[in-house]
Amino acid sequence: MPSNRSLLSCGVAALVLCVASEASAQTRRFNLPAQPAVSAIPEFARQAQIQVVAPARDLDGVRTPAVSGDLDVREALARLIAGTPLRVAAHEGGVVTLRSSAAKGAPGVLTGRVLDPATGQYMPNAVIRVTDASGQHRTVLAGERGEFRLTGVAPGEAEASISFTGYVDQTARIVIRSGETAQLDFDLFRPGQGGEAVAVADVVVTASSRDGDARAIMSQRRSMDIKNSLSSESFGAIDEGNVGEFIRYMPGVDAEGEGDDTVRYVRLRGLPPEYASITVNGVSMAAADANAGSSTSRSFSFEQVSLSSIDAIEISKTVSADVDANAPAGTINLRTKRAFDRRGRRITASVSGFTHSDMWNDRVTGPGEGEHEARVIPNGQIEYSDVFLNRRLGVVASISQSNTYTEMEQSYYPRSYVPNTVSPDPMAMNSIFVHMRGQEVSRFAGSLTLDWKATDRLILSLASIYNNSYLWSGQRNYSFTTGARTYGVIGDAALDFTTRQPASAEGVSAGSNIIAKRGEGTTIVPSFEYRGDWFLLDGALSYSDSTSTYDPLKEGAVYSFVTAPWASGNFSLYRPGIDSTQFRIQQVSGPDWSDPKSFSRANALTFNTEDGRFASTELTNGGLNLTVDVNTPFAPITFKTGVKAKRSVYDFGNERVAHQYRYAGPLGVADFMAENASANGLNFNDMGIEYASLSGSNTLFMPSNYKIGALFQSRPDLFQPVLTAANYYTAYIANRRHFEEDSNAAYLMATSKLNDRLTLRAGLRWEETLTRSREVDPLSVADVKAAGYAVSSTTGRATTIDGLKYQFESRPQVDREGKYDHFFPSASAKFAISDSMDLQLGYSRTIRRPEVNVLAGVWSVNDEDRIVTAPNPGLEPELSDNLSVRLAKYFEPVGLVAFNYYRNDVKGLFQTEEMTAEEFGYTGAEYAGYTFRTTRRVSGDAISIEGYEVEFNHSLTYLPGPFDGLTVRGSFTHNSPQIPIAGSAENFGALSLAYQKGPLRLNLNTAWSGDKLNSVATGSYIKARTAMNLSGSWNMRRGVSAFFSVRNLLNEPMNIMLPGVDTPNGRIADHAGDYREYGMSGSFGVRAVF
């Protein structure tokens, strides 16, 4: 039998003749597998015992389906050519003539966009299936702007269908003309009663949580990575616009707060924050935080990022070769809003008020000096988007201002488990610390995004984000000293006792710190995208900087006393049990603690006038990617390759001890305290803590940092600096870090859909890292002594400031360099078990780079012990092999249930080690015999972290009204690390209920965390905790709605417990260690959409 190629080349009709002994209407037995038509038609003719005539050009490139069984010849032929362009042109006697209905000529192009006309939003990830005139079946997914483009479409009539979860499927026919481009746009409609499509009438509609869930599901199903995606409206209103508050309800996420219970960091699958990579539109974003300094340089703080500029959040639990490899836990990508995402002009404006439960009590709490008078704090936001120049220029601009106030109440107690003769109790409280924090947070965010469609193929974009945050916090505390193990107590030293300290001992101290933290960040990302018929070329440059500074003097306050003022006296204490921190404290002797003059024991009035902490991070990126679609005889393959260069610059410092001043004015200590007493009190209404002075007053003395700050600024002559040589070294030499890091990368990745069920991806990434740690180049001890400066035998440092300057600053600083590179393989597979069930597998190798504090800094020399503590700028990263498996079942209209398994094998954990000078690489003579202490990677077997996640999302539209407006979503994660990880819960989860019916929308979001290890050293743990938020809105009229939100609806505290201890005098069961109350906060307002 001639081949397909020979038949086509000769251009003659393929004539297949079989002697037919009976009529074609008779039943025959057929056994025809799916195959090319050029072989199927002759075989059919033989089995049917008829003649079939067909032009070879009509058979070329056509495949026929399988046909088997005892069938009538006509029925068998109909089945054979079903779905192909072949048609029966004539059927006379025993001869059948076939012709193709496809038009001849050059192939055409089919393009279009997918729109939700109710919201005006274009729909990315919509599935478009096309059957062209040749019978070829093809599938394409809508891009980020809802656009799709299909090349090589046979001329003639084509049929296109579209599907998107939560919307009605549609089918349309369109004629493709030879060599031309046809446009086919789809409008998606929500299902109505009876299964009919229902368009929303002439109203302004904002996307609902159900719409957001639908887009998220489509995004997840499209991705080859194991991914969770959520739109910004999925969980309703979020206080502060804090992106972290939004992420905390996503599967596999556990949140970390700082002081006010606001999310600062997030953990993915139980791994610490530094194991996740945070990007904006795929580009790294700087987020400096001077709070913890260089020890958290790799952790992204959400303190400066506002939700107002974010459209969707995508969490990828596995990573492919086209993203940075520094993500063992996964990546969190913040997708900004774009004008091309929706049609036409849209203006959204809102005004709201924020309040907190503690703003309604009558206590004077701060953070400033005096009462917090406002009960409600104003907030606002406006967003504008439009398209111009015949939809070629898109603009999105937004600004927002949020202001919040929170209070935290805290108590804990240092303790002793070592009984002695004066205090035989198994446990004794050494002191009781009660702390109250009143805090204002202000956030301003602005963003501008421009998209310019320069040609039909080229899009130029510019995305810019500016964030400015200000945290103002008054942190005041009392510390009551028991002296239990020194002087003994009367009663039970753990529960109910009276102290018996001498008159010279400290009874209570009053501490006050003022925090004024400014954070500022700018991100600018110009990019381009050029789309050809079979390739996509895209690239981006980016610049992102972030600064974090502390400056309380700008608020007119000194930071703190160097030593908190204290007073003598004894007190009695009672609490109900060892698991309680509801202390009742009554002074029983000594000077009255409500009298400022009682706090005159300080030897000197010395203050930290400045906080002194600062941090900055600067990131620059450049990347280029090429995606090529290739058709092979086996399957279509999409190749993607690219290169990237990134520079990171970190600076950290803490100069606090260099700004110490001593009061040298005419007032004595007692009079100074009386003149500078604060009117602010501490509020413990949520915790139930009570204390009283000897006179029965519940207002104890507290110094005013603001009065002292005002005096310091107006009369600097009354203060003397007390800068010592040790403090100079700490502030200007030891606490400074400057670190630079260059990362260069290249990758190649291939993705192939082998058939309708199976898609495979494999890739390889190479990354090279170059590091530079800027350090001082100190003179030797001999050189310093030769210059006439005294040197400490303990530290090896000069004992005067001038000597330190000569020793550490007389020579230029040096850059100590490091270099390493690695290859990172990755692979993933997606198998469609059915149209509604997917199985995904993903593997990747990733790294975690060390923190800046172990890479940069100065050498610390202890000449007595002959130890040199040194940074390690050449320290290589941890390596992690990551495996994830996901089985997901999808439901209509909107829903899914998924089970995930994951395992991370981390090798090369960081650990401080001691080594000889030779092992460290020191070749000088001065420290040749010293022990060097630095951070290195631990050799040996990998440490594993494994666990599983269960997630679900279901729209209950099948319920009778009014319950058909319900949507439920949630997740549960079980995490099992091989070694304990502080801050990580073994079990945590989230549950959210959303309701939308008519003008009403409600969201109840709950994040639960089981017992969570707080400290590996002590074994303390955070008790299980539930954070619940409620939000809702009511559409009052066209385009106008009222909304509200309440955070920490259950007023849930944080309770850090201490594990049981065996002592010589008995066992202590689990007992309270640190207890914190945060109160409830809420907001309400009006939103308008034009």
The better pLDDT of the pair 239, 403 is held by 403
Strand order in the sheet with 496-499: 489-492, 496-499, 571-574, 584-587, 690-692
Rounded Cα distance between 466 and 946, Å, is 38
Asked whether residue 18 is assigned to any structural domain, the reply reads yes
* CA 473 and chain centroid, separation: 25
Q: Coil, helix or strand for 380?
A: strand
Rounded Cα distance between 481 and 420, Å, is 18
**Number of helical H runs and strand E runs in the chain:** 14, 70
Cα distances (Å, whole numbers) of residue 42 to 15, 50, 96: 8, 10, 12
Asked whether residue 191 is assigned to any structural domain, the reply reads yes
Asked whether residue 935 is assigned to any structural domain, the reply reads no
User: Both tokens of residue 997?
Assistant: 């019916």
Residue 74 shares a structural domain with residue 155: no
For residue 606, list its beta bridge partners: 662
Residue-range definition of the domain harbouring residue 184: 108-198
Residues in Cβ contact with 37 at an 8 Å cutoff, skipping those fewer than 6 apart: 54, 59, 62, 63, 64, 84, 86
CA-wise closest residue to 417 among 980, 1067, 1029, 1022: 1067
Residue 128 shares a structural domain with residue 70: no
Report, as an integer, the average pLDDT of 847-868: 74
Strand order in the sheet with 910-916: 860-862, 867-869, 931-937, 910-916
In the prediction, which pLDDT does 97 show? 83
- 382-409, pLDDT tens digit by residue? 999 999 988 899 999 999 999 989 889 9
Q: How confident is the model at residue 205 (pLDDT cuts 50, 70, 90)?
A: very low
Report, as an integer, the average pLDDT of 857-861: 68
The better pLDDT of the pair 468, 852 is held by 468
Asked whether residue 171 is assigned to any structural domain, the reply reads yes
Least confident of 514-528, 923-937, 942-956: 923-937
Residue 180 sits in a domain whose CATH number is: 2.60.40.1120
Residue 114 shares a structural domain with residue 48: no
The better pLDDT of the pair 37, 607 is held by 607
Strand order in the sheet with 560-561: 560-561, 606-608, 660-663, 719-721
Asked whether residue 86 is assigned to any structural domain, the reply reads yes
Among residues 100, 127, 152, the one where a domain terminates is 100
Least confident of 191-205, 584-598, 872-886: 191-205
Beta strands in 917-1065 (DSSP E): 931-937, 943-955, 966-977, 987-997, 1000-1009, 1012-1013, 1021-1022, 1025-1037, 1040-1047, 1054-1058, 1061-1063
Whether the pLDDT of residue 24 is over 60: the answer is no
Question: Is the pTM value of this prediction over 0.85?
Answer: no
- According to DSSP, the β-strands at 1021-1022 and 1066-1068 are unpaired
Residues in Cβ contact with 980 at an 8 Å cutoff, skipping those fewer than 6 apart: 1013, 1016
Residues in Cβ contact with 637 at an 8 Å cutoff, skipping those fewer than 6 apart: 629, 630, 750, 751, 752
Cβ-contact 1090, 347 below 8 angstroms: yes
The better pLDDT of the pair 105, 925 is held by 105
In the prediction, which pLDDT does 14 show? 37
Q: How confident is the model at residue 508 (pLDDT cuts 50, 70, 90)?
A: very high
In the prediction, which pLDDT does 371 show? 63
Residue 9 shares a structural domain with residue 89: yes
Tokens 């190479």 belong to 766
Least confident of 786-795, 820-829, 1011-1020: 1011-1020
In the prediction, which pLDDT does 1022 show? 92
- 750-796, pLDDT tens digit by residue? 999 988 899 999 999 999 999 998 989 999 999 999 999 999 988 88
Q: How confident is the model at residue 7 (pLDDT cuts 50, 70, 90)?
A: very low
Report, as an integer, the average pLDDT of 444-463: 92
Residue 168 shares a structural domain with residue 192: yes
**Range 569-588 burial, b when 16+ CB lie within 10 A, else e:** bbbbbbbeebbebbbebebe
Whether the pLDDT of residue 553 is over 60: the answer is yes
User: Both tokens of residue 426?
Assistant: 């198994």
Whether the pLDDT of residue 198 is over 60: the answer is no
Neighbours of 740 (CB within 10 A): 18
Whether the pLDDT of residue 207 is over 60: the answer is no
DSSP state of 106: S
Residue 80 shares a structural domain with residue 147: no
Residue 130 shares a structural domain with residue 83: no
Q: H or E segment at 805?
A: helix 801-809
User: Both tokens of residue 108?
Assistant: 């055409």
- The mean of the pLDDT values for the chain is 87
Neighbours of 698 (CB within 10 A): 12
The better pLDDT of the pair 1069, 312 is held by 1069
Whether the pLDDT of residue 206 is over 70: the answer is no
Residue 93 shares a structural domain with residue 116: no
Rounded Cα distance between 521 and 335, Å, is 17
Cβ-contact 593, 700 below 8 angstroms: yes
In the prediction, which pLDDT does 899 show? 97
In the prediction, which pLDDT does 941 show? 74
Residue 20 shares a structural domain with residue 90: yes
Whether the pLDDT of residue 877 is over 80: the answer is yes
Asked whether residue 271 is assigned to any structural domain, the reply reads no
Residue 49 shares a structural domain with residue 94: yes
In the prediction, which pLDDT does 372 show? 64
Report, as an integer, the average pLDDT of 199-228: 70
Whether the pLDDT of residue 184 is over 70: the answer is yes
Report, as an integer, the average pLDDT of 488-497: 96
Q: Above pLDDT 70, what percent of the chain?
A: 90
Report, as an integer, the average pLDDT of 401-425: 93
Angle at 1041 between CA 1039 and CA 1044, to 5 degrees: 155
Whether the pLDDT of residue 951 is over 60: the answer is yes
In the prediction, which pLDDT does 888 show? 96
Report, as an integer, the average pLDDT of 1034-1061: 92
- 617-629, pLDDT tens digit by residue? 999 999 999 999 9
CA-wise closest residue to 399 among 305, 462, 308, 310: 308
CA-wise closest residue to 528 among 443, 623, 435, 438: 623
Domain count of the fold of the chain: 2
In the prediction, which pLDDT does 762 show? 98
Name the amino acid, one letter, at 873. Answer: P
Total residue length of the chain: 1090
Residue 32 sits in a domain whose CATH number is: 3.55.50.30
- 79-96, pLDDT tens digit by residue? 998 888 888 877 776 788
Residue 125 shares a structural domain with residue 165: yes
- 677-727, pLDDT tens digit by residue? 998 888 888 888 999 999 999 999 999 999 999 999 999 999 999 999 999
CA-wise closest residue to 140 among 112, 178, 121: 112
Among residues 56, 77, 100, the one where a domain terminates is 100
Least confident of 334-343, 679-688, 908-917: 908-917
Whether the pLDDT of residue 803 is over 80: the answer is yes
Asked whether residue 150 is assigned to any structural domain, the reply reads yes
In the prediction, which pLDDT does 263 show? 80
Q: φ and ψ at 688, to 5 degrees?
A: 80, 20
**Range 16-33 burial, b when 16+ CB lie within 10 A, else e:** bebebeeebeeebebebe
Helices (H), 463-525: 484-487
Q: How confident is the model at residue 862 (pLDDT cuts 50, 70, 90)?
A: low
Q: H or E segment at 452?
A: strand 431-453
Rounded Cα distance between 19 and 787, Å, is 116
- 29-71, pLDDT tens digit by residue? 999 999 988 889 999 988 988 888 887 777 877 889 999 999 9
In the prediction, which pLDDT does 102 show? 63
Asked whether residue 56 is assigned to any structural domain, the reply reads yes
Q: φ and ψ at 693, to 5 degrees?
A: -80, 180
Among residues 169, 198, 227, the one where a domain terminates is 198
In the prediction, which pLDDT does 866 show? 67
User: Both tokens of residue 359?
Assistant: 């703003």
Q: φ and ψ at 681, to 5 degrees?
A: -120, 175
Q: How confident is the model at residue 850 (pLDDT cuts 50, 70, 90)?
A: confident
Whether the pLDDT of residue 277 is over 80: the answer is yes
